[in-house]
Amino acid sequence: MRINLWAGVDAAYDLTGALVASAAVVWSFEEVRVVECHVALGATPAPYVPGRFAEREAAPTLAALRAVGVRPSVVICDAHGRAHPRRWGLACEIARLTGWPTIGCAKSLLCGRHGPVGPARGDWADIELDGEVVGRVVRTQTNVRPVYVSVGGNIELDAAVEVVLLASPRFRLPEPLRLAHQQARLALTKVLARPRVTA
């Protein structure tokens, strides 16, 4: 699968969960560099409810993506796609809202089961839920904890796994996702560090 540009999106919250910073980083695979980086800051739009993550994070994530001036080949979300109890994680919602190919790449398993995964980079196993394959657990680095990959929309699962592996040459997380995480945390830290003006 030929890829020119991919985006990573992630969000960070303050300790109270009231403030959210969502970052979108567009990374050039061919040039090995960041092409764009945008952060949306604001009040968290919804409380945390297990299994309904999209309601909390879709709006700020979309705000960061709307600032992107180029169309990415794919968007990698720090979230689940079809590997979700309702088969509709944040990555699915972002695909619906943008029309772009979208992948969920999560750090932990939300639902379903999978068999053993070998220790080598590229090893994987299907994630099954109610007899249906909804994603794959993928080892992106040898002897490092795997990630959980599922389709958000407009891409096949085989291609999604390929993208995640290509985007993870050195670290557990895909590079644009890792950078988006850093930028979201940095933006939030800067905001919280500003002195408050009192009357």
- Give yes or no for a contact between 121 and 142, defined as CB atoms under 8 angstroms apart: yes
Task: Provide the 8-state DSSP code for 196.
Answer: P
DSSP string covering 75-92, please? EEESS-SSSSTTS--HHH
Residue 49: predicted pLDDT: 81
Full 3-state SS string of 125-153: EEEEECCEEEEEEECCCCCCCCEEEEEEE
- Cα atoms in the 13 Å half-sphere on the side-chain side of 127: 27
Residue-wise pLDDT for 59-83, tens only, equals: 999 999 999 999 999 999 999 999 9
Residue-wise pLDDT for 124-150, tens only, equals: 999 999 999 999 999 999 999 999 999
Residue-wise pLDDT for 95-110, tens only, equals: 999 999 999 999 999 9
CATH topology of domain 5-77+87-104+153-193: archaeoglobus fulgidus dsm 4304 fold (3.30.2170)
Q: Identify the three-state secondary structure at position 7.
A: strand
Q: What is the reported pTM?
A: 0.93
